[in-house]
Amino acid sequence: MKNIYIIGVGLIGGSIAKDIKKLNPDIMIYGVDKNKIHLKDALSLKIIDKTATFEDLHKADLVIVSIPVDATEILLPEILDKVSEETLVIDSGSTKASICKAVENHPKRRNFLATHPIAGTEFSGPKAALEGLFKGKTNIICEVEKTAFKLQERALTIFKIMGMNMRYMNPDAHDKHIAYVSHLSHISAFMLGKTVIEKEKNERDIFDLAGSGFASTVRLAKSSPHMWTPIFKQNKTNVIETLNEYINNLTKFKEFMEADNFEDIFNEMESTNHIKDILKGIQ
């Protein structure tokens, strides 16, 4: 591979570019982004070598699409229209069903690999890009059988060199599971932050009283609404299901409190402590 095009040079796209550049400094990385400031920052930080446009995509050996999922759904067919028969196109979206549906009948469907590298921070933009962000992280791959075998091999080689662990799912299963383990946690953080801001009008009080527990719990509320609103929209059905379960648990906890039933509160927390065994080793 000689020419890699990153569409969306933010946290994820920029971090992928950093890893690829470290592994092979001779590769040319081109940035495509409607945000001119992002392109300028990516150039100055040497995340990309040059800027480009959609009209240049026919030169690409690899195209990495790292933009909000609603934009990916709209633009992915156009991207496939423009690439060569030998080009691999990868996305990194947090939802998969709608994106896969958008290209299911595209003549170049075999050129596309649907992926979701589960890594990131609460920050966005090229300045947030991190080398080694994906090492040891899980990369979910959907509908791998619909991608040309030689392009699958090219993608897997890149992912393994970057240190990612592969997991295979169908798009619907991915969206259902990710609603619980990712999307719900972001909603919880946003709403916890909202509750505190509304009740604690004095920002100095929040700063002075907030401990590390609050800071870590609300960390995801710093994430970009531009990215997360489309995710919630695309995965609406699964997100509502997870919210109903979450609200039921919160309601039950509240009822225990109202009834002074602290034995059941203890039991609820004790049984939930099992999560530390499930998540053992995750940092």
The predicted-structure confidence for 210-253, as pLDDT tens digits, reads as follows: 666 777 778 888 889 999 999 999 999 999 999 999 999 999 99
Among residues of the chain, what percentage have pLDDT more than 70?
93
- What residues does CATH 1.10.3660.10 cover in the chain? 174-278
Fold annotation for 3-169: Rossmann fold (3.40.50)
**Residue 217: its pLDDT value, please?**
79
CATH of domain 174-278: 1.10.3660.10
Number of H helices, E strands in the chain: 13, 8
How confident is the model over 45-91, as pLDDT tens digits?
999 999 999 999 999 999 999 999 999 999 999 999 999 999 999 99
What's the pTM?
0.88
Q: Give 25: exposed, middle or buried? Use CB within 10 Å, 0-12, 13-18, 19+.
A: exposed
Looking at every residue in the chain, the average pLDDT score rounds to: 92
- What residues does CATH 3.40.50.720 cover in the chain? 3-169
The helix (run of H) or strand (run of E) holding residue 75 is helix 69-82
Q: Is the pLDDT of residue 128 over 80?
A: yes
Q: Is the pLDDT of residue 202 over 70?
A: no
